[in-house]
Structure 1
Amino acid sequence: MTKKIAILFVCMANYCRSPTAEGVFRSRASAAGLDPFLLIDSAATSNYRIGHAPDPRSSDHAARRGIDLTGQRARQITLADFENFDHIYGMDRQNISMLKSACPPQYHHKIGLLMQFATRSDSDVVPDPYGGDVDGFELVLDYIEDAADGLVASLRAQIAAQSDAPGEAI
């Protein structure tokens, strides 16, 4: 068995976007048979909503697509996360800036935008839907589903390359 690849999704409050990314990615990774190889979590750059469940609008829209966010609770990123997670994906440039400010320099290479994996969306960031209307939550799901599919494909290749049994199907 290979070492689990640890993935962390981050937004400002861990209330809308990063819990959605965690939930969507868990679902996509599970459907692809990758869950035994992954550790998946989400966190906030701020301490605004620590301990809170995801925004009810995020949970409702995700549930309509078969994604369950109800077990999640917001937490703030810690220094240990930079060491312990292999990949840390922010939702927008402000998240990336805040992450890099808090991150020890030797771990900067772990930080990137989630939308770098998108193939069907033209945005390079996941916009914050919090202050907008319900259409924003649907757009966030569309973008995150696109990026999650690309990330699953990327990780399948990474897992296959480090597999203990060469040629083993994943």
Structure 2
Amino acid sequence: MIPAHPTSVLFVCLGNICRSPLAEGVFRQKIQEAGLGDQFLLDSAGLGAWHVGHQPDGRTISVARAHGTDISDLRARRIAVEDFYAFDLILAMDRDNLRDIRAMQPRDGTAEVALYLEYCGLEQMKRSYEVPDPYYGGADAFEDVYHLVDQASDILLQKLR
């Protein structure tokens, strides 16, 4: 049975080329594997406009592909005011993202806005529920982000089922 209104989730990071497209792609893979693709509407966005229209960072595409997820078709976009009405849930990758998202959130916006790992109840050691930005790191940083997002996606799926 197809739900009347699929659950819509927007993943947000700074530039929409590392963390948020990876989170979108991994979660999309999880819902497809669970046979729930028609029950969710997913997207990702960034706070800045630097990368609008571009593919995710090549390192992000590589780490996703290494784990069986293809995100090469995704294109960066900037979060918009309309997103606060179009999505049920907007998940920020870190506290700075969360602060900036909340600053632009309209008073009558209907989306729930939360910190991704905190929403999933997944504290990452001393990072206090933040998905670290791997942009200036090496391959290990992207691999670490993949594993965090993978674990959070399992929890998010259970929570939203």
TM-score (norm 1): 0.87
1:163 counterpart residue number: none
2:41 counterpart residue number: 39
Contact 2:12 2:45 (C-alpha < 8 Å) held by counterparts: yes
2:81 counterpart residue number: 79
Question: 1:88 & 1:114 partners in 2: Cα distance?
Answer: 8
Question: 2:159 & 2:80 partners in 1: Cα distance?
Answer: 26
Contact 1:27 1:67 (C-alpha < 8 Å) held by counterparts: yes
2:108 counterpart residue number: 106
1:57 counterpart residue number: 59
1:131 counterpart residue number: 136
Match of 2:160 among 137, 152, 155: 155
Q: Runs of 5+ in structure 1 lacking a partner?
A: 157-170
In 2 relative to 1, CA 26–109 (structure 1 residues): closer, same or farther, beyond 3 Å? closer
Structure with higher Rg: it is: 1
Q: Runs of 5+ in structure 2 lacking a partner?
A: none
Question: 2:49 & 2:123 partners in 1: Cα distance?
Answer: 33
Pairwise CA RMSD of aligned residues? 1.5
CA-CA distance at 1:111 after TM superposition: 0.6
- 1:103-157 C-alpha deviation (Å, 9 max, x unpaired): 112337611011121558545110000001111000000100011000000111x
In 2 relative to 1, CA 103–71 (structure 1 residues): closer, same or farther, beyond 3 Å? same
The residue matched to 2:78 in structure 1 has which SS? coil
Contact 1:82 1:104 (C-alpha < 8 Å) held by counterparts: yes
Contact 2:7 2:41 (C-alpha < 8 Å) held by counterparts: yes
- 1:64-87 C-alpha deviation (Å, 9 max, x unpaired): 000101100000011111111000
The residue matched to 1:105 in structure 2 has which SS? coil
1:10 counterpart residue number: 12
Contact 1:100 1:108 (C-alpha < 8 Å) held by counterparts: no
The residue matched to 1:43 in structure 2 has which SS? strand
Question: 1:108 & 1:129 partners in 2: Cα distance?
Answer: 31
Structure with more of its chain in helix, by fraction = 1
Contact 1:6 1:85 (C-alpha < 8 Å) held by counterparts: yes
Contact 1:118 1:149 (C-alpha < 8 Å) held by counterparts: no
1:142 counterpart residue number: 147
Q: How many residues align?
A: 156
Contact 1:6 1:86 (C-alpha < 8 Å) held by counterparts: yes
